[in-house]
Chains A and B, each alone.
Chain A
Amino acid sequence: GAVVSQHPSRVICKSGTSVKIECRSLDFQATTMFWYRQFPKKSLMLMATSNEGSKATYEQGVEKDKFLINHASLTLSTLTVTSAHPEDSSFYICSARAPTGVDEQFFGPGTRLTVL
């Protein structure tokens, strides 16, 4: 149990286009999901906390108009990179907070974005 999926696993896009990444909790409901970003050979940095039915909370330095997060249901959060540029190329990983009473979060497999 407690599986989190991400789609797509890899995406290549042209500069200026928008890219949507989906994060789904497959067998549990997640009221909270987290989005992390990882540059090559670097650590994971939290971008934002996504709460179902409300606005995401962004970390300092993360542009909320650039990285749109929508958590419309208890099993799905989406991250849209708007007007992507090469510097947005990165590995994006989501995680989902486990159900109440289970003190843990589960990670998706990640999405590798390459902006040409």
Chain B
Amino acid sequence: AQKVTQAQTEISVVEKEDVTLDCVYETRDTTYYLFWYKQPPSGELVFLIRRNSFDEQNEISGRYSWNFQKSTSSFNFTITASQVVDSAVYFCAHSGQTGANNLFFGTGTRLTVIP
């Protein structure tokens, strides 16, 4: 069975600090996808990244970076030089076999960036 654990329920940082959001997953699938979504106060889910299980390369997109470690079943997300607009709930999610299957979400991490 799939399981996604986000141990950090809430994090507060001061603007311009770096912050890492942790995600640990469990799966029996040999092929799977991992995702990060941002949910601002308005509620809509904003897609951030998708990573398949065969691609362990880290990725950087602007201030965002992701570290996928298959050996530890982790897919951590780092925001560099955080901004107030980064305040949101961030969800890590898992999808088996293909990225278009139903998603299993972690419990989310609420990030508050203090100006």
Residue ranges of A at the interface with B (Cβ–Cβ < 8 Å)? 32, 34, 41-46, 49, 91, 93, 95, 97-98, 102-110, 112
B107 proximity list for chain A (CB < 8 A): 42-43
Contact A46/B102 with A93-B45, A112-B43 known, Cβ cut-off 8 Å: yes
Bound CA span A29–B110, Å = 34
B residues contacting the other copy or chain, number (CB 8 A): 20
Mark B residues whose CB is within 8 Å of A.
33, 37, 42-45, 47, 50, 91, 98-100, 102-108, 110
Known A42-B107, A44-B91, A46-B104; judge A104-B44 contact (CB<8 A): no
Do A104 and B99 form a contact, CB below 8 Å, given A44-B91, A110-B44, A112-B43? yes
Across the interface, do B102 and A49 meet the contact criterion of CB distance under 8 Å? yes
A43 and B103 CA atoms in complex are apart in Å by 11
Establish whether residues B100 and A44, one from each chain, have CB atoms under 8 Å apart when the complex forms. Answer: no
Alpha-carbon gap, A98 to B47, bound state (A): 14
CB-based contact A110/B43 at 8 Å: yes
Chain B residues within an 8 Å CB radius of A102: 100
**Pairwise interchain contact A98-B100, C-beta atoms closer than 8 A:** yes
Interchain CB contact under 8 A, B105 and A105 = no
Docked CA distance A103–B97 (Å): 10
Q: Is the CB of A105 within 8 A of B100?
A: yes
